[in-house]
Chain A
């Protein structure tokens, strides 16, 4: 496969950045999207140019590090798939592919396609945890959990914090990420004592980071590589309202 790539290049946080066009030849359809970029980067290094910086780690779709907006869609148009698990066979030979970083004020670009997602860490630090006495693990059956709750909590817990929801949202809202974390803990018995204070603290931190508000467009859940449902946002809103009513 031969491809034309239009890639966002930005030397550093202060550089205004621009789109640069590259030709990539002899791409195997079995390559992942990141492997295709690796091939281009090897060539750029041999030519003495600066390789394209992009985030990646596990390359098996579970770490949440990779992520770029491919042809206007975070992680590309393939549903429920991270960029590292997106394969070149989903593209046509001779295609032009536009690659951009996540675009949001709370996610400043560090270089090229790499953005700083520390805002997510600070939201987790604000309340995305449970306070328990440390020690040996309790018996698995000591606290009963309904099967439905366990399933829904697990679905929410599959969020890898990649930030695609923010990138896709027309408002630059982090609601799906925050809601997934809040839902995951609020459905389990261990999350109950801090349930309302957690929701309040995390939503307030989300606002303080400068993310936009949710308008329920559903763009986030459509691009989420883990398919986190909009239900989580309804749960977050309910907990946040309860916390404020007290």
Chain B
């Protein structure tokens, strides 16, 4: 004898699911590794690492100004004549510049692509939203990136191409640097300061975040990597701020 159990309305399944399991909506499928969110994060991590390497060398180069104009100019010249007898003038530097520009473009592509994906993932915003994680720097990465990108444009026009520099293009690098940060141009130094602090905050989160993306930040290592990221960011900020502040405040010139 078979008993038929009538299911009460409280436990009855919702009508739409009784007919057939709802077919998942056709969604635009990501294509391949670089189309995946994790793949884009890896692009961001690797290009970020290249840029951090550049920043460390750039900072060390800047500090040469404290050893005198000649030391700084010689360093700038040496960069252009790297591996000179073997390779033509400016070969190594040009290759490095191409890698750097490619890194910047790919880093921005990944950032924009992930930001758009994030916006699509939350079409309706919260009325009230309260952050529970302490690290506010993680929430200003995108604004920091935009600020840094704008600064880099100004920075190249100022000290590389000399367009907005009092000394112009046909001058020694050290002269452009010292003229660029004279006390009368304090607003340039201020902009520089804001941008460098932004770079520091960007790296405070970015460095350990990149290692997390690559799967290396585990267990006790995370804490250590976060401290190292903070230390690296602090060293870079101080190293980059020392020359312009010294020039603007008149210790150098």
Contact = CB atoms under 8 A, between A and B. Distances in A.
Is B a genuine binding partner of A?
Answer: yes
A213 B218 contact: no
A104 interface: yes
Interface stretch (A25-33, A81-89, A234-242): A234-242
Contacts of B114: 171, 212-213, 215
Contacts of A222: 132-133
B127 A100 contact: yes
Interface in B220-236: 222
A213 B118 contact: yes
Contact of B222 (A98, A122, A203, A231): A231
A172 interface: yes
Given A71-B128, A207-B37, A234-B217, A219 B121 contact: no
A206 B27 CA distance: 12
Interface stretch (B95-103, B149-157, B205-213): B205-213
Contact of B215 (A71, A207, A223, A241): A241
Contacts of B218: 231, 234-235
A215 B129 contact: no
A230 interface: yes
Contact of B209 (A72, A209, A215): A215
Contacts of B40: 213
Contact of A218 (B35, B125, B133, B141): B133
B168 interface: no
B124 A103 contact: yes
A234 B215 contact: yes
A98 B141 CA distance: 28
A212 B133 contact: no
Q: What class of interface size applies to chain B in its complex with A?
A: 35 or more
Interface string A137-154: 000000000000000000
Contacts of A23: none
Nearest to B40: A213
Contact of A241 (B132, B135, B214): B214
Contact of A171 (B121, B134, B208): B121
A222 B128 CA distance: 17
A98 B212 CA distance: 34
Contact of B130 (A71, A238, A240): A71
A48 B138 CA distance: 47
A208 B27 contact: yes
A244 interface: yes
A211 B121 contact: yes
Nearest to B205: A216
A173 B121 contact: yes
Interface in A134-188: 168, 170-173
A208 B209 contact: no
A6 B127 contact: yes
Q: Residue among A71, A237, A240 with the most chain B CB within 10 A?
A: A237
A132 B24 CA distance: 27
B29 interface: yes
B9 to A, nearest CB: 15
B22 interface: yes
B126 interface: yes
A203 B222 CA distance: 22
A238 B133 contact: no
A127 interface: no
A60 B36 CA distance: 37
Interface of B: 22, 24, 27, 29-30, 33, 35-42, 114, 117-118, 120-135, 138-139, 141, 205, 208-209, 212-219, 222
Interface of A: 6, 8, 19, 69, 71-73, 77, 98, 100, 103-106, 118, 122, 168, 170-173, 203-204, 206-219, 221-223, 230-231, 233-241, 244
23 contacts: A6-B127, A72-B130, A77-B130, A105-B120, A105-B122, A204-B30, A208-B29, A212-B117, A212-B122, A213-B38, A213-B118, A215-B114, A215-B141, A215-B209, A230-B222, A233-B212, A235-B218, A236-B215, A238-B215, A240-B38, A241-B38, A241-B215, A244-B39
Given A173-B121, A216-B213, 5 more contacts: A19-B127, A72-B126, A215-B114, A215-B209, A234-B217
